[in-house]
Structure 1
Amino acid sequence: MNRRRQAAISLTAAVLSGMLVYAVYLLQVRQIEMQEMSEVVVPKKFISTGTKLEAAHLTTAFLPRSAITPEMITSVSEAIGMETSIPLGSNEPLLRWKVDKYRLLPGKGQSTFQIPREYVKSISNGIRAGDEVVVYLSDEATLSRKLFPDAIRVAGVKTAANLEIDNPKNPNLLSMANDDKESMYASRRDANGTIDAINLNLTDAQWLELDTACKGGTAKLIIAFQASSIQEEEYR
């Protein structure tokens, strides 16, 4: 009888010991998995171009460390105050190249160029500083074409009196930062002049391509306002 009791006690102890070992193993595995995950900043919902990021726009999500790149922002405080350069999708990792604190300044490898008047055939009057534009080449000798595959950032638009074109009572950049599309539209309707000069942020290669194409006099630029600067959310 004692032998049976001792055997039962031994078996119970062995089972409890095995369960304890297994529980410790699961805890260690979970700790290892947590150690291999890191937080990255993600938008809580879709965010349109030109939005000034606030804490209410952002949250964090866990990703495997192997999937995290240096371009991903890992601190919410770093992202606050940045402006979105392109639309941001809900819960997608926030990348540094998609936001900028000084959107009108040239980016890495860029310079701000004032486009000579004689190079320009037409400019959309809806263009304002901070917008993205599409640049086309209208050439008498060949077929017209899109000069650059990507949109170009506008650094400034001036009147003939060298005044920045905007609505002083309702500045476009302030409306853009507040994501107020109605005010942005109104500021474009009630702006203070006709565009006489436009400054674009271009790389050296882009400027040399533009200058080479236009300096002969037969080809001129058509600079068009890109609808996505305001309307990308309505089209989604």
Structure 2
Amino acid sequence: MNRRRQATISLSAAVLSGLLVYGVYLLQLRQIQLQETTEVVVPKLFVSVGTKLTSDHLKIVTLPRSAITSEMITDLEEAIGLETSVPLGGDEPLLRWKVDKYRLLPGAGQSTFQIPREYVKSVSNGIRAGDEVVVYLSDDSTASRKLYTDSIRVAGVKTAANLEIDNPKNPNLLSMASGDKEGMYASRRDANGTIDSINLNLTEEQWLMLDSACKGGSAKLVIAFQASSIKEGER
């Protein structure tokens, strides 16, 4: 009887010892995995361009350390409040060049150009700083066409008195920053003047294309407000 009891105790001790060794192994394996991976920020789902990012848009995932680049955002707090410059795919690492905090400033390779009045045939009165616009070329000698395939960011629109066009009681930029679609719409209805000059963020190549097309006087620009500047995705 004593032998059977001793055998049972020995077997139990062996099982417990094995479980302990296995538990230590799992902890070591987990530690190695943590050392070999890094947390990065990714969108939960597709995010459209011009969206102000919130915690609802983002989550944290782990990637192998070998796959991490300096462009990837690893801190969730860093990403919150930024606006998307391009559409973001779900579960794709969030890269710094795809988001921006100061969307009115020219991006990499861009400069802010004030478009000469004599180059402009018409400007949509709904345009405000921060909007995306489509630029068309209206030419007397050839068929009218879109000047750029991509939309262009507006850096500023001013009245003849050199005042930024906006609704002083309900500034468009504040509504845009907070994702208030109704406020953005209202600011366009109750603006304080007519557009006299417009500044666009362009690359050197885009400016030279525009200048070459318009400086002869026969072609002029039609600058149209793009509906995607106000969207549900900014809410």
TM-score (norm 2): 0.81
Gap change, CA 1:232 and 1:68, over 3 Å in 2: farther
CA distance in 1, matches of 2:62, 2:142: 51
Find out whether 1:116 has 2:112 as its counterpart. no
Partner of 2:67: 67
TM-score (norm 1): 0.80
Find out whether 1:133 has 2:133 as its counterpart. yes
Partner of 1:3: none
CA distance in 2, matches of 1:232, 1:69: 32
CA distance in 2, matches of 1:15, 1:223: 78
Identity of aligned residues (%): 78
- Within a 5 Å distance, the mapping from 1:1-236 to structure 2 comes to 24-43=24-43, 53=53, 56-57=55-56, 60-64=59-63, 65-86=65-86, 92-231=92-231, 233=233
CA distance in 2, matches of 1:220, 1:232: 33
SS of 1:222's equivalent in the other structure is strand
Query: What displacement does 1:183 show?
Result: 0.5
- Conserved in 1, the CA contact under 8 Å of 2:42 and 2:61? no
Q: How many residues align?
A: 233
- Conserved in 2, the CA contact under 8 Å of 1:53 and 1:80? yes
- Conserved in 2, the CA contact under 8 Å of 1:42 and 1:94? yes
Q: Which runs of 5+ in 2 are unaligned?
A: 1-6
Query: What displacement does 1:176 show?
Result: 0.4
Gap change, CA 1:162 and 1:211, over 3 Å in 2: same
- Conserved in 1, the CA contact under 8 Å of 2:71 and 2:95? yes
SS of 2:213's equivalent in the other structure is helix
Alpha-carbon RMSD across the aligned residues, in angstroms, is 3.3
Query: What displacement does 1:34 show?
Result: 2.3
Gap change, CA 1:47 and 1:186, over 3 Å in 2: farther
How big is each residue's C-alpha offset from its partner over 1:63-85, in whole Å with a ceiling of 9 and x where there is no partner?
32233332221123433453443
Q: Which moved more, 1:197-206 or 1:76-85?
A: 76-85
Gap change, CA 1:168 and 1:45, over 3 Å in 2: farther
- Conserved in 2, the CA contact under 8 Å of 1:136 and 1:146? yes
Gap change, CA 1:63 and 1:147, over 3 Å in 2: farther
How big is each residue's C-alpha offset from its partner over 1:153-186, in whole Å with a ceiling of 9 and x where there is no partner?
1110011111110000000000001100000000
SS of 1:168's equivalent in the other structure is coil
Gap change, CA 1:162 and 1:43, over 3 Å in 2: same
CA distance in 1, matches of 2:213, 2:80: 41
SS of 1:137's equivalent in the other structure is strand
CA distance in 2, matches of 1:73, 1:216: 47
- Conserved in 2, the CA contact under 8 Å of 1:134 and 1:151? yes
What amino acid maps onto 1:192 in structure 2? N
Gap change, CA 1:18 and 1:122, over 3 Å in 2: same
